[in-house]
Amino acid sequence: MNASDYQEIRQLFDEYLRMYASRDDRLTTCFSDDFSGFTGGGDFLVKDREEWVAITRQDFAQVKDPLRIELKDLAIQSLSDTIAVTTGFFIIHLPFADNILSRETARLVLIFRKESAEWKISHSSISIPYYLVREGEVYPLKGLVERNQLLEEQIAERTMQLSETNDKLRQTNEKLAREIEEHKQTESANARLLLEQRAILDNLPMMAWLKDSEGRLEMVNEPYAKACGHTVDECIGKTDLELFPQETARSYIADDHEVCTTGQKRQQEKQIVTPDGPKWHLTYKTPLFDELGRIAGITGIALDISDLKEHEKEELKVQKLESLGVLAGGIAHDFNNILTGIMGNISLAKMFIDETHRSHKALVGAEKASVRATELARQLLIFARGGEPVKKVVSLRHLVNESVSLVLHGSNVRGIVDIPASIHAIEADEGQICQAFHNIIINATQAMPGGGVITVSARNETLAGRNTVALPPGAYICLTFTDEGCGISEADLKKVFDPYFTTKVSGNGLGLASTHSIITRHGGHIGVSSLVDKGTTFTIHLPSIGEAVSECQTEPVTQTSKGHGGGSILVMDDEEMIRELAVGMLEEIGYRVTTCNEGSEALRSYKAAQESGTPFSVVIMDLTIPGGMGGKEAAEEILALDPAACLIVSSGYSNDPIMSDYRTYGFTGAIAKPYRIDELAEMLRASLPGR
């Protein structure tokens, strides 16, 4: 019963007593149409409402003056939403002196029933010290007095006889009462303990069970019942063969047999089939012994560690990629140094040959091949350890639209982008994220040589503390790329992000591996699902900033001319080939060149040039010098000597944060290896004006 109904019933009961005591005829309107009740003696049932109204009015006519009712106790009990029972104990004080009724306690039971949203009295039972209604009297005063006198005489006669018996009975009753109370307390404590145990078991984040020596379940909790697709009651008395798939059940029975045979606890990890799919469980089983030391059963618990297994798998994958990344980063750095020599010399050679010369075409072809090799080196660097993204807030919607348009241009694959304007922005390295998207879209186009559709969609999502992608809780965007291609077999699906794994004749196996590395470094997760001959879906989760931003379009880059310079340039690089190439390029442009192979030597050369009155206009510094002072440290030393120094950083690690945020470290510009002569000239032109 809710609080409002309780309050209303209490008010109706009080109003009933008030009208009864004041002899108010409106009391008769409180009775329901199907009313029934017992009169004061308790042995006469009235089944007709009108008859009860007549008796009530007869009562009011016999005693017209108001009564005083002294309420001693009241209990209200709800039997249902529409039925309530009130039991009141009170003393009726009649308006007569020394009347016996004023010394008796009466009991009134009223049953209220809600009819059309209104509570009515459907039954009344009152027990007061009078008997049948007769001779027009509701209160038989004369008969009561006579009966009271007779009772007093009988009681007086028997008091002496019963006194001794009463004492014995009292002692016996007290003893029985104590024993009954103790028994009730024990039963109550046991019941409470069972309820507490059941509540604890059912709320455990694991399966729990108890089996007898024959393998029949005597107790299970809710997680256990859910795991086998039954209720708790349905599990009791059953064996594993009746609840689980046969293979799983036989495995459980074999484990139980080992525990019973050895008498030792058993712990193991096991994969089982549940109604929700395959699950990994960490199981503990313990033998139970009786008072004679014999094995009487087995108790066990099983913790679902499926998420933990998924975490371990992801961690192993990350460790594997990081290990290979160390090697890939070193290779890419050395490869870029070699490519710098190749591309630089090709671009330099092209300047000495007329475009109509047959060798010029060969040089152009070699330069194009070098550009493709540069792309491969860039993929390696993205994949390699240490190429952390330099992030800024970007519009995901803009990046996806741009990537789809760029990659699918001129192909027979159509792109559908379904991303709402409300999609949240992300903090990302725009170049790296675009590269990741390009790799996925290229992979989709290669899976659909005959043409098809790739659909890209995104939604905002909030991940909880425990999630299937093993990411910290927070705001994310979930991005999916779905194609209609040939699909990926289950065996290949497990290796799709492995470096150098490819099923394509012309592939290098770095595209999806670098994509995985990019997404991971951005604090995200990438997964893949596929059906052979149906298509493939890549699902990416990336942390979002929790709100959308307006799309910022990238401004087009204008083509710059080589130009011709003048002045003196210091080139610092540990590779002799790079130093020689720089001399050739810069002298061809019109600069005087001095070279050195590490930072300490560069500092000495810079200081000497200043002291001689012929300072360097620009210093081009390699970022990483194995075994010597690198560009970052050398720049600090030179800027301490000459705060106005013009410094350009160069590195084969194009993804190094210093390359993207070079001004923070005091550099005027940055140029990534490998570079061509026109790129070098443009960098110098942009760095030197005003100096």
Collapse the DSSP code of 537 into the 3-class scheme (helix H, G, I; strand E, B; otherwise coil) and give the result. Answer: strand
Residue 556 has which token pair?
Answer: 């087009």
Residue 147 pLDDT: 55
Burial of 296 (0-12, 13-18, 19+ CB in 10 A): middle
The alpha helices in 204-264, defined as continuous H runs, are 222-227, 232-235, 240-243, 246-262
Task: Indicate yes or no: pTM above 0.75.
Answer: no
Confidence of residue 340 (pLDDT cuts 50, 70, 90): confident
Q: What does the pLDDT read at residue 6?
A: 87
Could you report how far apart the first and last alpha carbons of the chain are, in Å?
Answer: 88
69: confidence class by pLDDT, cuts 50, 70, 90: confident
pLDDT given for residue 95 in this prediction: 77
Pairing of strands 206-212, 535-543: unpaired
Q: How far apart are CA 681 and CA 585, in angstroms?
A: 9
What's the pLDDT score for residue 382? 60
* Single-letter amino acid code for the residue at 149: Q
pLDDT for res 559: 34
Q: Go through 543-565 and write b for each residue having 16 or more CB atoms within 10 A of its CB, e for each that does not.
A: bbeeebbeeeeeeeeeeeebeeb
Whole-number Cα distances in Å, 428 to 255, 362, 399: 51, 40, 11
- Which residues contact residue 538 at a Cβ distance below 8 angstroms, ignoring those fewer than 6 apart? 440, 480, 481, 526, 527, 528
For residue 645, pLDDT beyond 60 = yes
Express each pLDDT in 453-475 by its tens digit. 999 999 999 998 888 888 999 99
Q: Which residues contact 466 (CB under 8 A, 6 or more apart)?
A: 307
Beta bridge partners of 56: none
* pLDDT confidence of residue 342: 84
Of 59, 67, 55, 54, the closest CA to residue 99 belongs to 67
Whether the CB-CB separation of 108 and 21 falls below 8 Å is answered with: no
pLDDT one-digit tens code per residue, 125-181: 887 754 444 454 544 555 555 655 665 666 566 666 667 777 887 888 888 888 888
Classify domain 568-687 by CATH architecture.
Answer: 3-Layer(aba) Sandwich (3.40)
Q: Which range, of 58-72, 310-324, 548-562, 666-680, averages the lowest pLDDT?
A: 548-562
In the prediction, which pLDDT does 326 show? 64
Candidate CATH numbers 3.30.70.260, 3.30.450.20, 3.40.47.10, 1.20.1730.10; the one for domain 204-304: 3.30.450.20
Q: Are 205 and 223 in contact (CB under 8 A)?
A: yes
What is the Cα–Cα distance from 385 to 25, expressed in whole angstroms? 95
**Domain map of the chain by residue range?**
3-139, 204-304, 314-383, 392-543, 568-687
Residue located via tokens 């303990």: 193
- Domain at 314-383: CATH architecture: Orthogonal Bundle (1.10)
Cα 563 from chain centroid (whole Å): 58
| Angle (nearest 5°) at CA 130 between 128 and 134 | 135
Q: Is the pLDDT of residue 565 over 70?
A: no
For residue 573, name the pLDDT band (cuts at 50, 70, 90): very high
pLDDT of residue 552: 46
Write 81-88 long-range contacts (CB < 8 A, 24+).
81/1, 81/114, 82/113, 82/114, 83/111, 83/112, 83/113, 83/114, 84/1, 84/5, 84/9, 84/111, 84/112, 84/119, 85/109, 85/110, 85/111, 85/112, 86/9, 86/13, 86/110, 86/112, 88/13, 88/17
Mean pLDDT confidence for 331-345: 75
Correct CATH for 392-543 of 3.40.50.720, 3.30.565.10, 3.30.70.930, 3.90.110.10: 3.30.565.10
Which residues are 298's β-sheet partners? 211, 287
Q: What pLDDT is stored for residue 407 in this prediction?
A: 87
Number of Cβ within a 10 Å radius of residue 28: 17
* 25 DSSP 8-state letter: G
What is the H or E stretch that residue 87 is in?
A: strand 83-93
Question: What is d(CA 396, CA 390) in angstroms, rounded to the nearest whole number?
Answer: 16
- Mean pLDDT, the chain, as a whole number? 82
* Residue 492 Cα distances to 150, 318, 489, 507, 515, angstroms: 105, 18, 5, 15, 17
**Whole-number pLDDT of residue 375:** 64
pLDDT in the model for residue 503: 66
**CA–CA dist 429, 432 (Å, integer):** 5
Mean pLDDT on 555-580? 70
In CATH, the number for domain 3-139 is: 3.10.450.50
| Residue % of the chain over a pLDDT of 90 | 28
Return d(Cα 510, Cα 504) in angstroms, integer.
12
Confidence at residue 378, expressed as pLDDT on a 0 to 100 scale: 64
